[in-house]
Amino acid sequence: MEKIFLTAVSCGILTSVSCMANNRQPNIIMFLVDDMGWQDTSVPFYNNEQTPLNRRFHTPNMERMAEMGVKFTQAYACAISSPTRCSLMSGMNASRHRVTNWTLELNQKTDSKSNAIELPEWNFNGIQPAEGDGKINNATAITPLPQILKDNGYRTIHCGKAHFGARTTPGADPSTMGFDVNIAGGPNGAPGSYLGTKNFGEGTPFEVKGLEKYHGQDIFLTEALTIEAIREMKESVKMNKPFYLYMSHYAVHGPYDNDSRFSGKYRGQYDEQLKAAMNENEARYAALVEGMDKSLGDIMDYLEQNPEVAANTILLFMSDNGGQGLNNVRQGIANRDQNYPARAGKGSAFMGGVREPMMVYWPGVTKPGTECEQKVIIEDFFPTILEMAGVRNYKTIQKIDGKSFVKSVKKGKVTEKDKVIVWHFPNLWGETQNKEEGYGAYSAILKGDYHLIYTWETGVLRLYNIKEDIGEQNDLAKSMPEKVKELAVQLSDYLREREAQRPSMKDTGEIIPFPDETLSL
């Protein structure tokens, strides 16, 4: 991939921020992985040193990208898929768009039941195109990111998982959300199967549609999507139009079907962290990760083989939530091994549930091998991508919470020191309700090094210094009451401003107090 960088440099960085002949709009690839933990890669995202977990995985193409561009070590998303994807598409924090849990069927909640709390109404029908404003209950109408790009000359391509609108609603179909091309995107948040021999789950609620030409073939879903994505990039180049490719993989979400191209190298291999041989599930998971990495490499190879395209193409890499932290799907001690050294995993308020692997490569702009500690959350991608595209005069029906991180990309360092990150999940994820490990209904805030977690059912506030204690084992709430108060007030004010919905107690029917209100009780 060095050839791409050298090509960009040879065009003359001083004449423009990137090598854009005739000031052409850059192509933009948003490469989003599903359920990938921040350590599920051979690229170190913690203290710039490989952990035993990093050494478990083989991701040479992520390494290539890290060497070319900026690696962000404090990138965050929501703990669950749909909220993240709705924030990316809308620029809104989850507390504002209210799609706070995962979506699937029309008018159906996906929450677990509770004997203690009554969950608030939330937008279980997902986000919808602007013209549907008010027509669909329990939904948020937005001006979608791809629609703005399309209106400003881009050919917009969706490839893979959508999962931002309930089945039968307009928002379930990416083509209604501003995408010119929709490859295999629908309401389902996972594939019925990754296997072409099983028609990618045909006949199941999670069937991947639109890839019928691969049915019956011995091909893995990740590979089929990559082939289609590259084909559409080529088509855009033929049309002489800038493209926005949302390469949204179903990988590495379950089911952990066997990708025989890679699983053999992991199956039964001794793992230094687990101090045991990798079991079948873990071997298949590692193969899913490597297959995703091959997809990234295939896209990078296509660019390298087409230097004029490469010199004008920005590549962003991100995951949609933390990696699975439960040992019913991943090997090891639940909530400890899977995202080590972070605690817990997908669905949890702890770092293992929300901290992500993130990288950006911008020809002629990013300095190779840069590491940046700027805090970024998923809604920040909305204004960032539009700024990268040179789109400045746009209007949205929604209020944008995200802030552009273009300055951090260009400078390769922190440019917004006081950045605050807020999460809002007044829901109950279906796979576990272990409140001790950060699951269940919660809201949280990260400011500086301090992470405050509020559990709605119990009213408990926990405080951690993630710089000194990334595993969040030492609760500082009792020893730092003033810091708890400061963050509780800031979190509560943020939620009040967005009219965030709150659970209520079943025994009294009363709405649970905001975090700062519990301090006086």
In order, the DSSP letters of 39-87 are TSSSS--STTS--HHHHH---HHHHHHHHHSEEEEEEE--SSHHHHHHH
Q: Which pLDDT band holds residue 521 (cuts at 50, 70, 90)?
A: low
* pLDDT value of residue 133: 80
The reply to whether 390 and 494 lie within a common domain is: no
Contact yes or no for 107/124 (Cβ under 8 A)? yes
Return the axis-axis angle of helices 60-68 and 280-305, rounded to nearest 10°.
50
* pLDDT value of residue 251: 98
Type of residue at 412: G
Helix (H/G/I), strand (E/B), else coil: 403: coil
* Residue 407 region by backbone torsions, left for phi larger than 0, else alpha for psi between -120 and 50, else beta: alpha
The reply to whether 350 and 486 lie within a common domain is: no
CA angle (194, 144, 78) in 5-degree steps: 60
Contact yes or no for 154/187 (Cβ under 8 A)? no
pLDDT digits (tens, 9 = 90+) for 148-200: 999 999 999 999 999 999 999 999 999 999 999 999 999 999 999 999 999 99
Give the residue-averaged pLDDT of 118-138: 94
Cα–Cα dist 174/163, whole Å? 9
The reply to whether 379 and 458 lie within a common domain is: no
The reply to whether 410 and 303 lie within a common domain is: yes
Measured torsion, CA atoms of residues 37, 295, 270, 274, in degrees rounded to the nearest 10: 0
Cα–Cα dist 316/279, whole Å? 32
The reply to whether 79 and 145 lie within a common domain is: yes
Contact yes or no for 138/107 (Cβ under 8 A)? yes
The reply to whether 295 and 347 lie within a common domain is: yes
Cα–Cα dist 257/253, whole Å? 10
* pLDDT value of residue 442: 98
pLDDT digits (tens, 9 = 90+) for 298-334: 999 999 999 999 999 999 999 999 999 999 999 999 9
Supply the range of the domain harboring residue 501.
Answer: 441-518
Last residue of a domain, one of 398, 414, 430: 414
* pLDDT value of residue 1: 40
Question: Which two tokens mark 54?
Answer: 């990093």
Cα–Cα dist 170/168, whole Å? 7
* Residue 138 region by backbone torsions, left for phi larger than 0, else alpha for psi between -120 and 50, else beta: left
Look at the chain and report how many structural domains it folds into: 2
The answer to whether residue 331 sits within a structural domain is yes
* pLDDT value of residue 4: 43
pLDDT digits (tens, 9 = 90+) for 330-376: 999 999 999 999 999 999 999 999 999 999 999 999 999 999 999 99
The answer to whether residue 116 sits within a structural domain is no
CA dihedral over 149, 235, 310, 22, signed as positive or negative: negative
- Counting Cα atoms < 13 Å in the Cβ hemisphere of 4 gives 28
Give the bridge partners for 155, in sequence order.
243
The reply to whether 21 and 169 lie within a common domain is: yes
The reply to whether 399 and 474 lie within a common domain is: no
pLDDT at 21 over 60: no
For the chain, the average pLDDT equals: 95
* pLDDT value of residue 483: 98
Give the residue-averaged pLDDT of 110-125: 97
The answer to whether residue 54 sits within a structural domain is yes
How long, in residues, is the chain? Answer: 521
Question: Residue 49 contacts by C-beta under 8 Å, 6 or more apart in sequence?
Answer: none
Unique residue bearing structure tokens 């800038």: 242
User: Residue 26: which CATH number?
Assistant: 3.40.720.10
CA distance between the termini of the chain: 59
Contact yes or no for 90/145 (Cβ under 8 A)? yes
Cα–Cα dist 521/517, whole Å? 7
Type of residue at 511: I
Q: Kind and range of the H or E element at 140?
A: strand 140-142
The reply to whether 359 and 484 lie within a common domain is: no
pLDDT at 9 over 50: no
Last residue of a domain, one of 397, 414, 431: 414
* pLDDT value of residue 17: 37
- Counting Cα atoms < 13 Å in the Cβ hemisphere of 278 gives 25
Contact yes or no for 59/349 (Cβ under 8 A)? no
For residue 473, give Cα distances in angstroms to 321, 442, 463, 521: 21, 18, 10, 26
* Beta strand spans in 144-301 (E): 155-160, 181-183, 243-248, 270-271, 276-277
The answer to whether residue 237 sits within a structural domain is yes
The answer to whether residue 115 sits within a structural domain is no
Q: Which pLDDT band holds residue 12 (cuts at 50, 70, 90)?
A: very low
Give the residue-averaged pLDDT of 138-147: 98
Last residue of a domain, one of 414, 431, 449: 414
Helix (H/G/I), strand (E/B), else coil: 376: strand
The answer to whether residue 425 sits within a structural domain is no
pLDDT digits (tens, 9 = 90+) for 31-89: 999 999 999 999 999 999 999 999 999 999 999 999 999 999 999 999 999 999 999 99
The reply to whether 96 and 187 lie within a common domain is: yes
* pLDDT value of residue 134: 82
pLDDT at 404 over 60: yes
Q: For the whole model, what pTM was predicted? A: 0.95
pLDDT digits (tens, 9 = 90+) for 196-220: 999 999 999 999 999 999 999 999 9
Give the residue-averaged pLDDT of 374-379: 98
Helix (H/G/I), strand (E/B), else coil: 413: coil
Contact yes or no for 312/18 (Cβ under 8 A)? yes
Cα–Cα dist 148/90, whole Å? 11
User: Residue 461: which CATH number?
Assistant: 3.30.1120.10
Give the residue-averaged pLDDT of 363-392: 98
The reply to whether 174 and 56 lie within a common domain is: yes
The reply to whether 84 and 203 lie within a common domain is: yes
pLDDT digits (tens, 9 = 90+) for 265-302: 999 999 999 999 999 999 999 999 999 999 999 999 99
Query: Exposed/middle/buried for 288, CB within 10 Å: 0-12, 13-18, 19+?
Result: buried
pLDDT at 520 over 90: no
Question: Which two tokens mark 329?
Answer: 């799907």
* pLDDT value of residue 2: 41
Whole-number percent of the chain with pLDDT over 70: 95
Question: Which two tokens mark 70?
Answer: 């900026």
The answer to whether residue 361 sits within a structural domain is yes
* pLDDT value of residue 3: 43
